[in-house]
Chain A
Amino acid sequence: MTTESPCCPPRPAAKSATGCCEPKPTEKTESCCPPPAPSSRSRRLPAQETTDCSPTAETACCPSGPKNDRPGYRLCDYVSGWHKSPVGEVPQIGSRLTRADLLGRWQMRWGIGRQRYQVTPGLYALGSPDASSAVLVSANYKMSFDLLRRSLCGRNLWILVIDTRGINVWCAAGKGTFGTEEIVRRVKACRLDELVRHRNLVLPQLGAPGVSAHKVKQGCGFSVSYGPVQAGDLPAYLDAGFKATPEMRRVRFGTLDRFVLTPVELVSMGKISLWMLLALLVLGGIGPGIFSLSAAFSRGGAALLAYLAAVAAGAVLTPVLLPWVPGRAFSLKGALVGGSLALPILPLLGSAIGALNCLALLLGSMAVSSYCAMNFTGSTTFTSPSGVEKEMRRFIPLQAGALLIAACSWVGTAFL
């Protein structure tokens, strides 16, 4: 599955540090790279497929490196050279993803290094496009860019990357950054009307919440065709004459799609968890002798373990098991999963820890798991803001209440 993370980074992206990808040749330099020639091992395929795209194929004619750099500029490693066009030389890219690209994608799943994970907005040439080649629009989030080019192996297309501040298509569309104004601006800045004979832009369907197709046409003269949801369906879409099947226009949210979103949920609980750790240590030490450091660590430590288990229940287990857990509200699902994990161990621990501690464990697990699951609503593909708000108004008081009872019960046991 190739779903991007739908949730957005917290900070507006810093200005792109890499000016390296903007070609500004001051004099006419001969491109060192002829268009990628079919490798000797590839079969001659009809239509556009003339390059062998298998992982074992030779790299495009010009691996990046000092050979292709220009004085004062270094090429990004996904740019293999320069492609001549009526609007100047355009960076040429390929469809192969390197180890560095895959590593970057893995890092994004954990929320590492988001600021740097961008592509400079502007025009790129995939293969050797010409005046009749289609123009595909992408966000400048590198994962969007990589998923797009990876699916277009062997094709010759223009890729217009717009500035979405390093945010993926769907999130940016929701915020308006993958929007009408930016597209119109970028089309004009890149002089697309001089580049191609046709007047059509292919947009990802998930850009639609931010783009008004008729207003784009009014603004820059280019009409908008909405491509499929998944980049992987693009070859079929293009070959069918820019037509999508109904299935291509649906967003699916399978188990693997949900699972890859869980690391970032865990990471987002990090800050609250540090505060929770502090609170548990302080509360754990409270007892008849006002405060005991050893109790803080032993009781607080045990509570911390319970807390971490509940976070895992709400932030990882509930999302993965989402369709099979009863209830529509995510808070309810989280509470059920947290409760189901705590309940079986109560009989085992009951005699050792007492009834009040069992109550604290059960309610605390349910409250924390419920809260974490509730936060997953922001990462799904089907929850509505109206529904999330309704769910929050109903369940946050319940979560707070359960947590309070749990805390009181637990601290109370120190005095018994």
Chain B
Amino acid sequence: MSQMRYLDKVATLELGIDRCVGCGLCTQVCPHGVLEMTLGKAAILDRDLCMECGACARNCPVEAIAVKAGVGCASAIIYGWLTGKEPSCDCGGAC
């Protein structure tokens, strides 16, 4: 089955190619193949597949990747709106 796609043009993934040292770790940890290695550096292959899990940004040794990672759970987001806090999975109700 081909990969499922969610909303387009919402992902906050940013790649600073100048800082990239070509270690390839981002391509190893991405669960959806968003990034690939081209000519010794990373490149974003398909930004709309990004689920903003943050694995790439967390594992980049030179902080060349930025993404606004967070909880993609509707109830957690509602809880965040109601309480004014960041959405989190400790929302007190079923997650």
A residues at B contact (CB < 8 Å): 7-12, 111, 171, 173-175, 205-206, 208-214, 226, 229, 244, 246, 249-254, 264, 267-268, 271, 322-323, 328-329, 374-375, 377-392
Interface residues as binary, B8-39 with A (CB distance below 8 Å gives 1, 0 otherwise) = 10111000000000000100111111000000
Q: Are A254 and B1 in contact (CB under 8 A)?
A: yes
Q: Are B95 and A328 in contact (CB under 8 A)?
A: no
Question: With A377-B72, A378-B73, A392-B78 in contact, is A387–B7 under 8 Å at CB?
Answer: yes
| Cα of A11 to Cα of B80 in the assembled complex, Å | 16
* Residue in B3, B10, B33, B59 whose CB lies within 8 Å of A387: B10
Question: With A323-B1, A390-B10 in contact, is A385–B71 under 8 Å at CB?
Answer: yes
* Residue in B25, B70, B88, B95 whose CB lies within 8 Å of A9: B95
Which residue on B lies nearest to A374, using beta carbons? B74
- Any A CB within 8 A of the CB of B43: no
Question: With A252-B1, A375-B75 in contact, is A386–B12 under 8 Å at CB?
Answer: yes
A264 neighbours in B (Cβ, 8 Å) = 94
Residues 36-83 (chain B) with a chain A CB within 8 angstroms: 49-55, 58-59, 61, 68-78
Q: Are A390 and B30 in contact (CB under 8 A)?
A: no
Q: Are A174 and B32 in contact (CB under 8 A)?
A: no
Which residue on A lies nearest to B29, using beta carbons? A208
- Any A CB within 8 A of the CB of B93: yes
Q: Are A385 and B52 in contact (CB under 8 A)?
A: yes
Q: Are A213 and B74 in contact (CB under 8 A)?
A: no
Which residue on A lies nearest to B57, using beta carbons? A209
B residues at A contact (CB < 8 Å): 1, 3-8, 10-12, 25, 28-33, 49-55, 58-59, 61, 68-78, 87-95
Q: Are B58 and A209 in contact (CB under 8 A)?
A: yes
Which residue on A lies nearest to B25, using beta carbons? A213
- Smallest beta-carbon distance A137→chain B, Å: 15
A212 neighbours in B (Cβ, 8 Å) = 58-59
Which 7 residue pairs are nearest across A and B when measured between Cβ atoms?
Answer: A378-B73, A268-B94, A208-B55, A208-B29, A385-B70, A387-B7, A8-B89
Q: Are B95 and A10 in contact (CB under 8 A)?
A: yes
- Smallest beta-carbon distance B70→chain A, Å: 4
| Cα of A246 to Cα of B37 in the assembled complex, Å | 12
Question: With A174-B53, A209-B54, A209-B55 in contact, is A378–B95 under 8 Å at CB?
Answer: yes
A374 neighbours in B (Cβ, 8 Å) = 74
Q: Are A10 and B93 in contact (CB under 8 A)?
A: yes
- Smallest beta-carbon distance A329→chain B, Å: 7
Q: Are B4 and A323 in contact (CB under 8 A)?
A: yes
| Cα of A7 to Cα of B73 in the assembled complex, Å | 8
| Cα of A382 to Cα of B88 in the assembled complex, Å | 18
Q: Are B77 and A229 in contact (CB under 8 A)?
A: no
11 A-B pairs in the complex with CB atoms less than 8 angstroms apart: A213-B59, A268-B75, A268-B93, A268-B94, A378-B72, A382-B5, A382-B49, A384-B10, A384-B51, A384-B72, A388-B72
* Residue in B50, B77, B89 whose CB lies within 8 Å of A389: B77
Q: Are B90 and A10 in contact (CB under 8 A)?
A: yes
B28 neighbours in A (Cβ, 8 Å) = 205, 226, 244, 249
Question: With A209-B55, A226-B28 in contact, is A12–B73 under 8 Å at CB?
Answer: no
Q: Are B51 and A392 in contact (CB under 8 A)?
A: no
* Residue in B6, B12, B49, B77 whose CB lies within 8 Å of A328: B6
B1 neighbours in A (Cβ, 8 Å) = 252, 254, 323
| Cα of A298 to Cα of B94 in the assembled complex, Å | 31
Q: Given A7-B73, A7-B95, A381-B31, 5 more contacts at CB 8 Å?
A: A173-B55, A267-B94, A386-B52, A386-B70, A387-B7
Question: With A7-B95, A250-B31, A378-B73 in contact, is A386–B90 under 8 Å at CB?
Answer: no
Which residue on B lies nearest to A378, using beta carbons? B73
- Smallest beta-carbon distance B74→chain A, Å: 5
Q: Are A210 and B33 in contact (CB under 8 A)?
A: no
A9 neighbours in B (Cβ, 8 Å) = 95
Q: Are A381 and B51 in contact (CB under 8 A)?
A: yes
Question: With A8-B89, A175-B89 in contact, is A377–B94 under 8 Å at CB?
Answer: no
| Cα of A244 to Cα of B25 in the assembled complex, Å | 13
Q: Are A250 and B33 in contact (CB under 8 A)?
A: yes
